[in-house]
């Protein structure tokens, strides 16, 4: 409990350096953040230790209200990266809107151009431990992403997504009010 009090104090002290920091929020330590002015954090956002969050080339990260980000999460953006309200991101997750090109033979991948495709996570989403949300992904409302899934593409509201590459295995049926298996 006392740790979270200090985490809250850290959020208050860091707030002037962010594009926006809603209160009450808290941030565990250590934390690595690059491009603070392009990061916008809503109210009641809980960030656990070892977050790496970085923007480059004018990119932005928007984290809406009531989001929980567990330990060892990496967020990186050179475009628009948005996390919807009340989403839960478990440990060891990677979320990006950047793809590294590799087509120039003999040239290190780090020195090649990047491709930016905006990434959006809808509200009330659950991102399982170890998942990777890749550039250009759009998750609708209340999508559930299974542990260690590699997600790329556009997914509708109310679906369960698992695997590498990730596929929809269940969808919510509003008529029956049941999560139904799909033919994945």
Q: Over its length of 184 residues, how does the chain's per-residue pLDDT go in tens digits? A: 667 777 777 778 778 888 998 988 888 888 899 998 999 999 999 999 999 999 998 999 999 999 999 999 999 999 999 999 999 999 999 999 999 999 999 999 989 999 999 999 999 999 999 999 999 999 999 999 999 999 999 999 999 999 999 999 999 999 999 999 998 6
pTM: 0.92
Closest among 167, 146, 143, 138 to 157, alpha carbons compared: 143
Quote the number of domains for the chain: 1
Structural domain for 7, as ranges = 2-181
Domain of residue 169, CATH code: 2.160.10.10
């Amino acid at each position: 409990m006392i740790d979270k009090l200090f985490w809250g104090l850290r959020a208050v002290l860091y707030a002037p350096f962010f594009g926006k920091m809603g209160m009450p929020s808290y941030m565990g330590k250590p934390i690595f953040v690059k491009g603070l002015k392009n990061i916008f954090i809503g109210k009641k956002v809980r960030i656990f230790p070892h977050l790496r969050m970085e923007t480059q080339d004018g990119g932005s990260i928007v984290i809406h209200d009531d989001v929980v980000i567990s330990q060892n999460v990496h967020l990186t953006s050179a475009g628009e990266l948005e996390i919807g309200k009340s989403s839960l991101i478990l440990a060891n997750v990677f979320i990006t809107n950047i793809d590294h090109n590799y087509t120039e033979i003999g040239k290190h991948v780090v020195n090649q151009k990047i491709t930016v495709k905006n990434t959006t996570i809808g509200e009330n989403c659950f991102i399982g431990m170890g998942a990777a949300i890749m550039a250009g992904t759009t998750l609708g409302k209340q999508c559930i992403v299974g542990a260690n899934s590699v997600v790329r593409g556009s997914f509708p509201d109310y679906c369960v997504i698992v695997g590498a590459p990730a596929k929809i295995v269940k969808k919510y049926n509003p008529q029956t009010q049941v999560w139904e298996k799909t033919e994945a």
